[in-house]
Structure 1
């Protein structure tokens, strides 16, 4: 995509489309996880978490529309890039570890965006709301991962999976951050 000559609003729409894509793909990951966690507490929390992710996608969609745009189809966003590097998680522990890392990245991206100067009040409000949700998402998913890993006697496996996914995340995000910087420069 050629970013030269794009207006500030058009650039915002592109960035918000990346956020929207990550939320939708995150919801898809959670939907898959829903089939693997059968206990009542996990089902309750998964339903709420899934609802939050789709609401976040809606908030970004609405923010884009409020700016006079339409969402841009993102074929090479964060979740897609990460998925290509990670492959298919082999266990529920791996799936939970991947979800933890994805939630950490979402929270980090939104916090970094919020810290930028000149963020308009409407965008700041969306960022604030989604960041608050991410804190809860991270807490319960990581707790569930550790609980299951301990029960299965594979806490070391969970720690290795987290570290592996975090390393891949850092590499993937570096490429995405470079692309986003180009959007803002373009």
Structure 2
């Protein structure tokens, strides 16, 4: 453990597992399990949000969005299974760490802003992974599919947030919420980035 920042040194433990003693395949299974966990927790966030959106178009888009999140979790589960593994239950992943820092959103604007930030991080993680050399074709196919979905998720959620904020005269609140959650996101992800880089190291 690196005592200066409280994070494991390279080859240390992640989710109670010793990275230094893991094979490349086991590291793949672990990183895919982190992605799977984030998608499942993201689906839970959307499930909480869907009851707050009353318009027919918003319900249509949110239902599709929710279906995408669960499909993403399935794609990562299948990728893990195809590697001959089983999903690792993640105790302290991105979404959980973020939730501990943000607390419960106080308004629908806050909830939408948090969803925007979560989707931004998902797309960023997937794009960074896809940019690595030697990504196998099966994983690259999943990364391409989920990244395309995250792009439209981001567009419609941010548009919905800004339309609601404008209707309620709370545009400054929306901007402030985005800034606050993005700051927290950067701080939270900094505690995971080194571990994820090591998990993706062959």
Q: Which runs of 5+ in 1 are unaligned?
A: none
Pick one of 133, 152, 155 that aligns with 1:139.
Answer: 155
Q: Which runs of 5+ in 2 are unaligned?
A: 1-15
Pick one of 141, 163, 166 that aligns with 1:150.
Answer: 166
1:9 counterpart residue number: 25
SS of the equivalent of 2:19 reads coil
Post-superposition CA distance 1:28-66 (Å, at most 9, x none): 000000011111111100100000000000000000000
Q: Does 1:94 align with 2:113?
A: no
1:169 counterpart residue number: 185
1:74 counterpart residue number: 90
1:47 counterpart residue number: 63
* Contact 2:28-2:199 within 8 A present in 1 as well: no
SS of the equivalent of 2:58 reads helix
1:129 counterpart residue number: 145
SS of the equivalent of 1:4 reads helix
Q: Scaled by the length of structure 2, what TM-score is found?
A: 0.90
Shift, 1:185, TM fit: 6.0
Q: Scaled by the length of structure 1, what TM-score is found?
A: 0.98
1:120 counterpart residue number: 136
Q: Which has the higher helix share?
A: 1
Shift, 1:179, TM fit: 2.2
RMSD: 1.1
Q: Distance in 1 between matches of 2:46 and 2:91?
A: 20
1:29 counterpart residue number: 45
Shift, 1:180, TM fit: 1.8
Q: Distance in 2 between matches of 1:12 and 1:96?
A: 31
SS of the equivalent of 1:147 reads helix
- Tell me how many residue pairs correspond in the alignment: 186
Runs of 4+ in 1 over 2 A off after TM superposition: 181-186
* Contact 2:42-2:69 within 8 A present in 1 as well: yes
Shift, 1:3, TM fit: 1.6
SS of the equivalent of 2:20 reads coil
